[in-house]
Amino acid sequence: MKSWNKETIHSRVESQRKLFLTGKTLDVNFRIRQLKKLRNTVAHYEKELEAALMEDLGRSEAEAYFCDIGTVILEINEIIKGLKKWARPENHFSGFHCFPSLLTKVYKMPYGVTLIISPFNFPILLSFGVLAASIAGGNTAIIKTSSKSKACTSLMQRMMADTFPPEYVTVIDGGHDVADLCLEERFDKIFYTGSPKVARHVMAKAAEHLTPVALELGGETGNWCIVRADADLKDAARKIAFFKILNSGQICININQVAVAEEVAEPFLEELKKAFEKQIGDALTNPEYPKLISASAYEKCAADAARYQDRIVYGGRGDASLRKFEPTVLYPVSREEEIVQRELFSPLLPVVPFKDHQVDELLSLIASREHGLALYLFTKDIRWAKKVMSSQQYGGGCVNEVCLQLMVKGAPFGGTGHSGMGAYHGEWGFREFTHPSTVLFGSNHFNLPLREHPYSGKAAAWKMPLLKLFER
């Protein structure tokens, strides 16, 4: 394994810049060939990827494929299919005010050398999914993976070394010290997925080089799910339970807290308990139930649960040796309590009761806090749901569903405010990793002196009327 330090990282960045400056990555057919290589590599290493995800996160074969492997392949296929169209220069009529120019083109230009900093929770998807967008844009890429997901990082290093030359794609391992060494370098684009706290540091380092940044964050006050009194409680409970079990709650778009109309709180809780029992049973002995990423993550989860011991209505047990903690429902929890004002990233689920006719007051409270990456509504009142979804500020979400907004072809994924900036997936990822350059094609014939001095005297009699005619 290569030892990463200031010199080796700088050398790798410079070798990638040298390759980029040859213009090799500009050819769209070249990019498509590289995307096909990436797709084939992911498919070839499928079983090893499943094993690595099991080792790091305790993820079952089905969950590994659904959340990481299959989703990456889906993303790459979408990009391959649309790339030639997306990369084609746009043609625009220059306008009468630009006469005699008739044609303006907008070229979609790659940034250059990109840095992708990926997290532990979906190490394959959030590394290779972003890499696919970077390749599509015509860039080279250095991926700094999480030091917490060691098995996945080791495998991804081997996969990329077998597939691409290091001056095109490199995977770098190591802790925060290595990440800081990467951030000392001048990259042309940085894409970071992680926490708002670290994002501030990434932005500060990027500002030193005026490097553009895309951020995909979880949001500091968490993602709300609202269950109205008219909701299908069994359906809502089933979907919420599935989502909280998934990756043991370690998902940036997961439900952080459920606000349920107090008129239906008790039957909802009963349906939620039944859903957990049906889907996972005894979570601590079920081999399909994922584990928390580290001992410290387990201890944090257990400490939160201990503080709410008297309000645990389901779950509450853990096994430190396995790093597994049951899906745990806390009820009732006030909307003002600390536990619902931060991202949990665990299988704990605070349930906040509210009066259904005061839902607008709840929405005002949510809007007053930092923007979440997701918002979920369960209700039969679709007109109300559409009004909420088109007026609140959040990354994305669902009505009467959970998490699937992430997997819709052609749709962007990204946050706003403390949940991030920028968007990707499909064409949106291509846009995130390219800069639109506008180029006007002029003419040396029929050039009128409209824009040139003098503006007074006889010229004013015809120049001003023409300017007002053309520039409107």
Catalytic residues: 216, 252
CA distance 128 to 123: 8
**Phi, psi dihedral angles at 324 (to 5 degrees):** -110, 135
CA separation for the pair 196, 414 (Å, rounded):
14
Sign of CA dihedral 286, 287, 293, 295: positive
DSSP element (H, E) containing 152: helix 150-163
Beta-strand ranges (E) seen in 285-380 are 312-314, 318-319, 324-325, 328-330, 348-354, 374-378
Residue 195 corresponds to which amino acid? Answer: S
Contacts of 303 (CB under 8 A, 6+ apart): none
The burial class, CB within 10 Å (0-12 / 13-18 / 19+), for 285 is: exposed
Q: Do the beta carbons of residue 36 and residue 80 sit within 8 Å? A: yes
- What span, in angstroms and rounded, lies between the C-alpha atoms of 147 and 118? 10
Helices (H), 164-283: 176-184, 196-209, 233-245, 265-279
Write the CB contacts of 226 (distance below 8 Å, at least 6 apart in sequence): 258, 259, 260, 359, 362, 363, 376, 377, 378, 379
- 324 by DSSP, 3-state: which? strand
- For residue 190, what are the β-bridge partners? 115, 213
- Residue 244 CA to residue 254 CA, distance in Å, equals 7
